[in-house]
A and B are shown apart, each in its own frame.
Chain A
Amino acid sequence: MKFLHIAATTAAFGLTTTAAFAETNITFWHAMGGQLGETVNQMAADFNASQDEYKITPVYKGSYEETLTAGIAAFRAGEQPNIIQVFDAGAATVIGAKGATIPVADLLADNGVDFDINDYITGVRYFYADSDDKMIGMPFNSSTPIMYYNIDALEKAGVTPPKTWEEFASTTAPALKEAGYIPLSQSHLPWIFTENFFSRHNLQFASNNNGYDSTDTKILIDNPAIKAHFSALSDWKEQGLFEWYGTGWGDNAKPFEEGQVAMWLGSSGSFGGLLQKDLGFEFSATMLPYWEGVTKEPTQTFIGGAALFAMAGKSAEENKATAEFFKFLTAPETQYFWHKETGYVPITQAAYEAAADDGHYERFPAAEVGIKQLTLPAGDHTKGYRMGFYVQIRDIMNREYGRILTGETDVDSAFKAIETEANALLARFAKTQG
């Protein structure tokens, strides 16, 4: 792998020196650190090596929030990159600013790249689309929350991974506790236990078609089903069936990686990292559990992660280069490579089939869980959500959920507070668009 990487980089470098005249340079700002960042660099090097007309330079800009803020500041200064990676919570901001980006459907069509939204797997298709289902951002690192479990721990406790939360509460968790494990932790309460809770149970998350149709949206979070879920969580924590290690992603993942926690709710994109870590126990994954009391027919979850946006204000040649890079990215081989290395889902049906044909899922059944979950039957409210100032809204959720789990507040007041503050932010956001 390392040798290939060097070979590809050298090849790309060789090409820059020989073909420097005709080459169009484009930049790509992303938020993929660590092993993910190396994979991104590898893909960029492969693209550069695959042809000699364009050269892409990926630049790591920090966290998702930092990348978006850097992109906005650069855009206002007229120095924006060609491509920027924007995460799910920032989608409303970047899509709301019409004129900041070129819709990916238009970009590809204008540059003669075949594009059909139906080539994409269903859970991925519309999250970064507008209300007319036109794709604005190109889904890139698409993940969905799944449940990882320590196979050894479950065997020791004599249980199988739970399908429903009822099963978890009555059978799985008590047995795991008995076996000396903390049964469950999770890494992102707003994403896993809020947004995807609504999607998994096909509940409406916000007015105006989850916010897609208009900006005068109200959040519908004060819902009895999710309140019951958080009451249950709080009880489980008291009974030692669930533990919360703060708002940080890694703080909650670590106890699972160290074998103290038996089951962990994380991202399907965590798979590559877990595989590399050599955990000292066998792990696998299963779908996000649901409440049988809420629905008998659980629906698909929607994607998290981020999408790539082509920023406006660039020359036709550079836009052409961006379109070519997107074409390269969506090719089944590239998607399969990305999927295999990281665990993020392949975004097209063709890439999914390529992975299946290669026997990837026979070797790693856990790698298929995310895609299976994203291709479950859809419902009226499973397309995604579009809400402005959503980064702050998530911060409010995190704050109130933290207060519930540390006993500073009760479930009813917490959800009232989230609803009131989120709606005030949504009203403020609507005014920024005026």
Chain B
Amino acid sequence: MKRAGFTTIWLPVALLLPQLMIIAIFFYWPAGWAVQSSFYLQDPFGFGSTFVGVDNYTDLANNGEYMRIAWFTVVYSALVTFFSLSIALLLAVKADNVIRGAKTYRTLLMWVYAIAPPVAGFLGILFFDQRNGPLTIFFQTFGWDFKLGVNYNSTATAMVMAAVWKQIPVNFIFFLSGLQSIPRAVREAAMIDNRSATGRFWQVTFPLLAPTAFFLLIINITYALFDTFGIIDALMKGEPGNNPMTLVYKVYLDGFRGNDLGGSSAQSVILMVLVLLLTIFQFRLIERRIHYT
């Protein structure tokens, strides 16, 4: 076997350099600063600062509210990931079966993809308005005293619903293309072996979709953890109050609203470690068991 290669070391270095520089400037450098300032408490204007060792981290560990936010983040991410994946899969399977008007259905389902998270949040405010939001009225007909920004669970529900709604189209596109790449021959063979559509789905289609589903699982977890910031910010209307929030939002509140740079840095270091663990989990534990075709 003949291996293609560069004759000189400088060409590949030159080709890689722009990418490496971007990573260095936009990731390693700020990340290094975050790690450093997480060991200090400093005056926001930059006049005084005190080295406090790991105090910023221990303060977080001893803060009941931070733990409560961490727990909410876990529940929130699980709910958003589960609902946005399962609803999108259902829609994709149904859309895949549609023959007439398929394009129209698909376009309509993908439409929401183009909406930015803060806009999704503002739409949420309209739908969940305290007095005349259609969904507020809908929930209240079932006797649920739904009030956005007043009751913790109401606000949490609104946040989950807006985030799921926004994410479904992305998952839908991936699932649909995954379904369409399953060879016709495999489906027809399955048709002969198993007459139950549900059985065929779980025994044949779903395992073949596994690589797509796994990829989407990781994408959706990071979406719920980080990219829902705009939705949460919009639904909170500028006042955290007694509303639920995720860890990323807490970093923003302490750093940018409260000017507590040390505490906020410590929180972002914790999130960096979390993402690192998630990546290791992705590559080491699961990727080996999933077969990409």
Contact = CB atoms under 8 A, between A and B. Distances in A.
Contacts of B256: 65, 69
B183 interface: no
B44 A398 contact: no
Given A246-B147, A434-B49, 7 more contacts: A93-B259, A398-B241, A399-B241, A428-B262, A431-B50, A433-B43, A434-B48
B239 A428 contact: no
A62 to B, nearest CB: 10
B41 interface: yes
Given A69-B256, A395-B240, A428-B59, A97 B44 contact: yes
A432 B43 contact: yes
A76 B41 contact: no
B188 interface: no
A251 B131 CA distance: 10
A391 B258 contact: yes
Interface stretch (A335-343, A373-381, A402-410): A402-410
B239 A398 contact: yes
B50 A244 contact: no
Contacts of A424: 59, 63
A51 B49 CA distance: 43
B280 to A, nearest CB: 33
Contact of B151 (A251, A406, A432): A406
A97 B43 contact: yes
A406 B241 contact: no
10 closest pairs, A vs B, by CB?
A: A402-B242, A247-B241, A246-B149, A97-B45, A247-B239, A434-B50, A431-B41, A392-B258, A431-B50, A100-B45
Given A392-B258, A428-B263, A251 B149 contact: yes
A421 interface: yes
Interface string A365-399: 00000000000000000000000010110011011
Interface SS of B by simple majority: loop
B101 interface: no
Contact of A398 (B42, B59, B242): B242
Count chain B CB atoms within 10 A of each CB in A68, A96, A246, A403 and give the residue with the most: A246
A163 interface: no
A99 B258 contact: no
A432 B239 contact: no
Contacts of B130: 245-246, 251
Contacts of A398: 239-242
B193 interface: no
A2 to B, nearest CB: 30
Contact of B259 (A72, A251, A400): A72
A63 interface: yes
Contact of A432 (B41, B59, B253): B41
12 contacts: A72-B44, A72-B45, A76-B46, A93-B44, A99-B45, A247-B241, A249-B239, A400-B242, A402-B150, A406-B152, A432-B42, A432-B43
Nearest to A72: B44
A98 interface: yes
A100 B47 contact: yes
A13 interface: no
B52 interface: yes
A69 B241 contact: no
Contacts of B184: none
B96 interface: no
Given A96-B43, A402-B241, A433 B260 contact: no
A75 interface: yes
Contact of A97 (B41, B47, B50): B47
A96 B47 CA distance: 10
Contacts of B259: 68-69, 72, 93, 389, 391
A293 interface: no
A248 interface: yes
A432 B49 contact: yes
B48 A432 contact: yes
A392 B242 contact: no
Contacts of B143: none
Nearest to B258: A392
Contacts of B149: 245-248, 251
Contacts of A75: 45-46
Count chain A CB atoms within 10 A of each CB in B43, B65, B149, B151 and give the residue with the most: B43
Contact of A433 (B48, B65, B253): B48
Contacts of B65: 396, 399, 421
B187 interface: no
Contacts of A434: 41, 48-50
Contacts of A408: 152, 242
Nearest to B239: A247
Contacts of B50: 431-432, 434
B241 A431 contact: no
Contact of A98 (B47, B52, B242, B258): B47
B150 A244 contact: yes
Contact of B47 (A99, A251, A403): A99
B291 interface: no
Given A63-B238, A248-B237, A395 B253 contact: yes
B288 interface: no
A76 B45 contact: yes
Count chain B CB atoms within 10 A of each CB in A72, A400, A401 and give the residue with the most: A72
